[in-house]
Amino acid sequence: MKINNFLITLSLMAIVGISNAQQNIFGGPQIQSPVINADKTVSFSIKAPKAVQVYINGDFLPLTQVETPFGLMDGQKPALMEEKDGVWTFTSSPLDSELYSYTFEVDGMRMTDPSNICLQRDGMSYTGTFIIKGDSAMAPGSLYSTCEVPHGTVSKVWYESPTLGLQRRMTVYTPNGYEGGKKRYPVLYLLHGAGGDENSWTDLGRAAQILDNLIALGKAKEMIVVMTNGNPTEQAAADQWPEGKGKVIDAGQSDVLQKSVASIEESFPDVIDFVESHYRTLKGRRNRAIAGLSMGGGHSFGISKRYYDQFDYVGLFSPAIFLAGNRPEQLDAAKVLAETEVDKELKRQFAQRPKLYFLAIGRSDFLYDSDMKFRKILDDLELPYQYLETDGGHTWRNWRHYLSVFVPQLFR
């Protein structure tokens, strides 16, 4: 027991830092938050003895209409927490199997739950997360969890992009058994949205867990997944390389696309060249898929169209597609077909008979109308594609789901 006490004390010292020892953190019960109760309700707590009002904001709360630059949209209504003895608490209604995220708002100040170490970064801010597992292995919460199955490796790898004139970081998932093996694998290129980076699909998208679990369940083929950074002026995620921070989202700067020497579409062969020369890949279009969300959906649309004979599988998740100078929400199908070569380009691509062209969107996504216009173009051209429409909006909850539906169809 002495050894254990010593370890506990050392842990506590490591945790609070000696510099905080004067705060009497060594004594007294620690707050546990969140606590998932037996009835699938979830209890949240935060100690804020001097606060006047504390709210919780999370994607498990009821929807309400909120003002956005895109007009009225669905958003969550923050819930007031109850105070007792300086500890504020809130208990949710029973929740479905899912990965959820939330923040606290203490006297108008947004903050993460100090008792929850499961944080995820989305762009420039963090939220706390928790998972409600499901009754089956295919329930969303189970599929997004680290489970007792064989695990692939997640690597942060740097590559040269001669086209962009930068060394850049990517995230690579290799399936269990890759290290020390000889087998070759097909490759899914998986692209993030605006505000994201090469960490987004593994951190927010749970791509490694989804792949591990689908492969273990026999529902997906083993594959390599390559998750690049889709901001052409960025070398790596801003928390990895702070000097790169703000290049994309600083509104005071000039056009980000003008600042890069080439576009993501133009530079994408650099990625494929690196992956196929540094990993044990199966080559050729039959063994290549590309998919992305929002801006990355637009990239996947553009890259698969530009390199029209290179990808047999294309996934567009809530894609932001720029055509004929349109912002996606202003997309005008007639204008596009009149003013661009998109019809010819798409026909050229589809003449190669890609095995899967997949489009998914949520009914309350602000890109819904835009994607419906894009869909009309596909329909007018009589091009075959798979369409998935779900509830919900422009959220990781949908993109995780779309990935889970897309991946089992690959490389069959």
| Least distance to a second copy, CB of residue 319, Å | 12
CA separation for the pair 88, 367 (Å, rounded): 37
CA separation for the pair 133, 100 (Å, rounded): 11
CA separation for the pair 11, 327 (Å, rounded): 52
Token pair 């204008």 is found at: 335
| Least distance to a second copy, CB of residue 60, Å | 10
| Least distance to a second copy, CB of residue 345, Å | 19
Residue number with CB closer to a second copy (253 or 386): 253
Residue number with CB closer to a second copy (277 or 353): 277
Burial class (CB in 10 A: 0-12, 13-18, 19+), 373: buried
Residue number with CB closer to a second copy (193 or 354): 193
| Least distance to a second copy, CB of residue 272, Å | 14
Residue number with CB closer to a second copy (108 or 218): 108
Nearest by Cα to 101 from 71, 72, 130: 130
Residue number with CB closer to a second copy (328 or 354): 328
| Least distance to a second copy, CB of residue 386, Å | 25
Residue number with CB closer to a second copy (154 or 378): 154
| Least distance to a second copy, CB of residue 206, Å | 11
CA separation for the pair 402, 394 (Å, rounded): 12
| Least distance to a second copy, CB of residue 178, Å | 9
| Least distance to a second copy, CB of residue 409, Å | 26
Residue number with CB closer to a second copy (38 or 52): 52
Residue number with CB closer to a second copy (350 or 396): 396
Residue number with CB closer to a second copy (266 or 381): 266
| Least distance to a second copy, CB of residue 73, Å | 6
CA separation for the pair 186, 328 (Å, rounded): 32
